[in-house]
């Protein structure tokens, strides 16, 4: 049989995508369905019996105190890091956008943290924020501020982790903001200046609306990323007793809880239920934010 | 803008920049100190020594972990570059039935967070006897939906005439892809390659779950383990952190332009 040119092209196309498609089916899609299925079972690696319990895992979840702690902590991670991180990087981007020389040099400085290994930097953080002998307490001492417990404190530890998250992501946000700022035509500002608009008015009426799509992209991305925080928490707050969730689980995040449930207690059915909840939250936030933020500036 | 304003901006930026790189300086400074000196809070070590580097490299598996990370990141990057480019090209430039459906299917996997997949991956690894092998570390990353999406965007900008010329010259479809299309998207290729490499080099969640033999740890997992055990020997912990960080810094300084351009390319195209 002789194939037409079109048929031949289609044949090549199927050959090209066959292996990757199989990969997506086996390594992404089937496992997702498997997780949904696991979440409906009482599934423990150590026990041969894995009974179907329907929504039992989910109802258990809502009565699980640790789950609520974890949900609250994760909310604190998002609320504590996303707005602050975006605000600081927007300020840096605005400054970089208004200088004539040295932009790429400063941009490089800000960006370095983003590419370095989270684990390594997490341990640097731990060393800096040590209660006794850490440099942060030393510097505070120079200003007459009393020594802080930081990682030993149930209220401060989570903010130490947040400071690390903010620091590590600043460069990425800044680069994206800068690219967005560069796309705004200078003529808008010139026209506004002639009309006598103050810099603040220009910022509010020109920069922010025209930066909207960049802002939406960054908020959604940063939120989703922070909801999944794991490595920083695991490494910065691992306690002496092998509990990485900080003092009294005060830094335990959703994904770290999943890790403990699934791979320390081997309670994989329950762990899967937690990931399903996280999946739904991520999905909802994405849809909500996109809708809310695009609407606001449509008119 | 006035001179004064420029001056203030540069001062603020310089102070901010120093604050941002301070943790690196502090890490390296501590790694060069020893004994009680590490509590002496000066950025420049009084008696700089590489003693802790020798100690860490000799008494731990750091070099092996380094090699493991390198192998895993290199294989993954090669695979992603090949498959993502090929699939991105196919979706952008070839016609076939089910194209839109299949593209949406691939793209929809971007919505699935990794932690939802690690339990099935772990079960797979144990069922198929992959545990404690390079394969178990690298199979989840062999292609990426994001890379496919990115490459498709770039190939769409490649003019069809060029591909037709290849067809007339008698190249087969793979030849057209390789000789006519790929050379035109080299910058995108560089960006995708660097990001995939760095992402895998720094990966922690899946490696810490799947590997339990110290000989197969990747650098981040080994570093976490080592630091937990050497707790309070901060000169050693900071040496470990420096060993993991310095190669990345070197890569960054070499490919700085491509990395930042890559972010521009990926971040702006929505």
**DSSP structure string for A260-287:** IIIIIS-BHHHHHHHHHHHHHHHHHHHH
Q: Which residues face A267 on adjacent strands?
A: A44
CA distance A152 to chain B (A): 15
Task: Please check whether residue A31 touches B, CB under 8 A.
Answer: yes
**Would you tell me which residues 118-147 of chain A have a C-beta closer than 8 angstroms to some C-beta of chain B?**
118-121, 123-125, 127-128, 133, 135, 138
Higher pLDDT, A6 or B222: B222
**Would the pLDDT of A124 be above 80?**
yes
The boundaries of the domain holding residue A124 are 65-293
- In the block, tokens 């991180």 appear at A85
Whether A58 is in a domain gets the answer: no
Which tokens go with A195?
Answer: 């009309």
> Mean pLDDT score of chain A, rounded to an integer?
88
CA separation for the pair A175, B261 (Å, rounded)? 9
Q: Is the pLDDT of residue A241 over 60?
A: no
**Per-residue pLDDT at A144 exceeds 60:** yes
Distance from CA of B133 to the nearest CA of A (A): 17
Q: How far off is chain A from B173, nearest CA to CA, in Å? A: 7
Range name among A13-17, A113-117, A239-243 with the lowest pLDDT average: A239-243
Q: Is the minimum CB–CB distance between B104 and chain A shorter than 8 Å?
A: no
Of residues A28, A213, A282, nearest to B109 (C-beta): A28
B contact test, residue of A20, A179, A258 with most B CBs within 10 A: A20
Contacts A199 to B, Cβ<8 Å: none
- Residue A169, pLDDT above cutoff 50: yes
pTM of the model: 0.91
Cα separation of the two ends of chain A: 58
Report the share of chain A in percent with pLDDT over 90: 53
What pLDDT is recorded for position A270?
Answer: 94
DSSP 8-state class, residue A198: -
Locate A148 and state its tokens.
Answer: 């802080």
Q: Across the interface, do A95 and B120 touch by the CB < 8 Å criterion?
A: no
- pLDDT tens column, A251-277: 999 999 999 999 988 899 999 999 999
Residues spanned by the domain of B62: 52-266
Q: Mind listing the pLDDT tens digit for each residue in B14-40?
A: 999 999 999 999 999 999 988 788 887
The DSSP bridge partners found for residue A273 are none
Q: What is the Cα A156 distance to its own chain's centre?
A: 20
Does the pLDDT value for residue B263 go beyond 80?
no
Q: Do B87 and A119 touch (CB under 8 A)?
A: no
* pLDDT confidence tier of residue A299, bands split at 50, 70 and 90: very low
Q: Do B209 and A23 touch (CB under 8 A)?
A: no
Q: How many CB pairs under 8 A join A and B?
A: 252
CB count in 10 Å sphere of residue A94: 16
Q: Which residues of A touch B123 (CB under 8 A)?
A: 34, 268
Interface touch A120/B39, C-beta < 8 Å: no
Q: What is the pLDDT of residues B167-186, one digit of tens each?
A: 888 888 899 999 889 998 88
In a domain, A128, yes or no: yes
Q: What is the pLDDT of residues B93-123, one digit of tens each?
A: 999 999 999 999 998 898 899 999 999 999 9
pLDDT at B111: 86
Shortest distance, CA A206 to any CA of chain B (angstroms): 19
- Residue pair B57/B210 in contact by the 8 Å Cβ criterion: no
Enumerate residues 6+ apart whose C-beta is below 8 A from B57. Answer: B63, B243
Q: How far apart (Å, rounded) are the C-alpha atoms in residues A85 and A215?
A: 12
Looking at the domain assignment, is residue B255 inside a domain? yes
Burial A179-198 (b: 16+ CB within 10 A, else e): bbbeeeeeeebeebeeeebe
Q: What pLDDT digit, counting tens, does each position of A177-233 carry?
A: 998 898 888 888 888 888 888 888 888 888 888 898 888 889 989 999 999 999 999
CA separation for the pair A203, A93 (Å, rounded): 13
Asked if A8 and B116 come within 8 Å (Cβ–Cβ), the reply is no
pLDDT band at A1 (very low <50, low <70, confident <90, very high): low
pLDDT interval class at A298 (50, 70, 90): very low
Of B119, B123, B248, the CB nearest to A115: B248
How many structural domains are present in chain B? Answer: 1
pLDDT at B217: 95
**Mean pLDDT of the A225-251 span:** 82
Query: How much is the average pLDDT of A4-18?
Result: 88
State the ipTM, two decimals: 0.91
Chosen for mutation from B13, B37, B69 (greatest number of chain A CBs closer than 10 Å) is B13
Q: Which residues of B touch A24 (CB under 8 A)?
A: 105-106, 109, 143, 145
Structural domain contains residue A75: yes
Output the pLDDT for position B269: 42
Is B104 inside a domain boundary? yes
Handedness of CA A128, A134, A138, A140 (dihedral sign): positive
Give residue-wise pLDDT tens across range B210-257.
998 999 999 999 999 999 888 778 899 999 999 999 888 888 888 888
Check CB contact of B258 with chain A, cutoff 8 Å. no
**Is residue A162 pLDDT above 60, yes or no?**
yes
For residue A262, being part of any structural domain is answered with: yes
Q: CB under 8 Å to B210, separation ≥6 — which residues? A: B121, B122, B125, B131, B136, B137
CATH number at residue B207: 1.10.3720.10
Q: Does B69 touch chain A (CB under 8 A)?
A: no
Establish if A277 belongs to a structural domain. yes
- Let me know: does A202 contact A228? Beta carbons within 8 Å: no
Q: What integer pLDDT is reported at residue B145 of this predicted model?
A: 93
A10 touches chain B (CB under 8 A): yes
Quick check: is A157 in a domain? Answer: yes
The answer to whether residue B149 sits within a structural domain is yes
Q: CA–CA separation, A75 vs A227, rounded Å?
A: 8
Q: What is the mean pLDDT of residues B73-94?
A: 96
B144 interfacial to chain A (CB closer than 8 Å): no
Q: How far apart are CA B131 and CA B126, in angstroms?
A: 6
How far, in Å, CA of A45 to CA of A268, rounded?
Answer: 7
Confidence (pLDDT) at A239? 58
HSE-CB of B212 using CA atoms within 13 angstroms: 8
C-alpha pair distances (Å), A42 with each of A30, A60, B178: 20, 11, 50
**Which of these ranges, A4-13, A160-169, A241-250, B57-66, has the smallest mean pLDDT?**
A241-250
In DSSP terms, A44 is beta-bridged to: A267
B270 chain-A contacts, CB cut-off 8 A: 213, 217
Task: Dump pLDDT digits (tens) for A38-82.
Answer: 999 988 877 777 888 888 899 999 999 999 999 999 999 999 999
**Within an 8 Å CB–CB cutoff, is residue A90 touching chain B?**
no
Please report, rounded to a whole number, the percentage of residues in chain A having pLDDT higher than 70: 94
Q: pLDDT over 70 for what percent of chain B?
A: 97
Q: Domain count of chain A?
A: 1
Structural domain includes residue B71? yes
Query: Nearest 5 degrees, angle CA A249-CA A251-CA A255?
Result: 95
Q: Is A19 on the interface with B (CB under 8 A)?
A: yes
Candidates B12, B95, B240; nearest CB to A9: B95
- Residue A127: closest C-alpha in chain B: B234
What pLDDT, on a 0 to 100 scale, did the predictor assign at position B270?
A: 37
Q: Which of A4, A91, A116 to mutate to test the interface with B (most CBs of B within 10 A)?
A: A116
Q: Do B95 and A6 touch (CB under 8 A)?
A: yes
Which of B113, B231, B256 lies nearest to residue A279, judging by beta carbons? B113
Averaged pLDDT of chain B = 89
Distance, in Å, from the CA atom of A233 to the CA atom of A51, rounded to the nearest integer, reads 33
Per-residue pLDDT, A161: 95
CATH code where residue A100 lies:
1.10.3720.10
What pLDDT score does A143 carry? 92
Question: What pLDDT sits at residue B268?
Answer: 47
Residue B232 has a pLDDT of: 79
Does A26 or B46 have the greater pLDDT score? A26
């Amino acid at each position: 049989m002789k194939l037409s040119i079109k048929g031949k092209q289609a044949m090549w196309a199927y050959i090209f995508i066959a292996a990757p498609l199989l990969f997506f089916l086996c390594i992404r899609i089937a496992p997702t369905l498997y997780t949904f299925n696991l979440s409906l079972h009482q599934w423990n690696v150590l026990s041969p019996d894995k009974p179907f319990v329907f929504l039992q895992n989910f109802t258990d979840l809502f009565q699980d105190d640790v789950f609520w702690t974890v949900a609250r902590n994760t909310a604190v991670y998002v609320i504590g890091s996303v707005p602050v991180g975006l605000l600081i990087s927007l300020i840096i981007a605005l400054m970089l956008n208004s200088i004539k020389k040295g932009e790429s040099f400063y941009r490089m400085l800000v960006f370095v943290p983003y590419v370095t290994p989270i684990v390594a930097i997490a341990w640097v953080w731990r060393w800096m924020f040590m209660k006794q002998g850490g440099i942060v307490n030393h510097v505070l001492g120079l200003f007459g501020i009393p020594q802080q417990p930081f990682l030993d404190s149930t209220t401060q530890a989570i903010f130490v982790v947040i400071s690390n998250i903010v620091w590590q992501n600043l460069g990425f946000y800044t680069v994206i903001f800068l690219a967005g700022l560069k796309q705004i035509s200078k003529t808008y500002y010139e026209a506004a200046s002639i009309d006598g608009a103050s810099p603040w008015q220009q910022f509010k009426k020109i920069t922010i609306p025209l930066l909207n799509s960049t802002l939406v992209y960054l908020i959604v991305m940063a939120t989703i990323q922070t909801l999944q925080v794991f490595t920083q928490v695991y490494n910065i707050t691992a306690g002496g007793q092998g509990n990485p969730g900080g003092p009294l689980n005060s830094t335990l995040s959703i994904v770290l809880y999943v890790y403990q449930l699934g791979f320390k207690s081997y309670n994989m059915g329950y762990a899967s239920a937690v990931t399903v909840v996280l999946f739904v939250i991520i999905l909802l936030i994405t849809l909500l934010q996109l809708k809310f933020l695009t609407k606001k500036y449509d008119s | 803008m006035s001179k004064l304003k420029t001056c203030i901006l540069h001062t603020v930026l310089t102070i901010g920049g120093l604050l941002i790189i301070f943790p690196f300086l502090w890490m390296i400074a501590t790694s060069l100190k020893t004994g009680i000196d590490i509590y002496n809070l000066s950025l420049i070590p009084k008696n700089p020594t590489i003693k802790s580097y020798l100690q860490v490299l000799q008494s731990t598996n750091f070099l092996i972990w380094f090699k493991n990370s390198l192998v895993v990141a290199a294989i993954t990057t090669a695979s992603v570059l090949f498959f993502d480019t090929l699939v991105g090209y196919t979706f952008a430039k070839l016609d076939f039935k089910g194209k839109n459906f299949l593209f949406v299917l691939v793209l929809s996997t971007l919505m699935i967070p990794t932690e939802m997949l690690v339990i099935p991956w772990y079960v797979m690894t144990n069922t198929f006897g992959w545990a404690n092998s390079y394969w178990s570390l690298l199979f989840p990353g062999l292609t990426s939906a994001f890379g496919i999406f990115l490459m498709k965007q770039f190939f769409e900008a490649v003019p069809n005439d060029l591909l037709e010329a290849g067809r007339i010259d008698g190249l087969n479809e793979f030849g057209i892809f390789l000789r006519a299309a790929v050379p035109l998207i080299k910058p995108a290729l560089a960006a995708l390659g660097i990001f995939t490499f760095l992402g895998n080099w720094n990966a922690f969640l899946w490696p810490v779950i799947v590997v339990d033999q110290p000989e197969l740890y990747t650098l981040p997992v080994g570093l976490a383990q080592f630091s937990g055990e050497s707790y309070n020997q901060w000169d050693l912990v900071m040496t470990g952190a420096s060993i993991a960080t310095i190669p990345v810094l070197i890569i960054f300084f070499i490919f700085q332009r491509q990395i930042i351009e890559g972010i521009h390319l990926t971040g702006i195209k929505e």
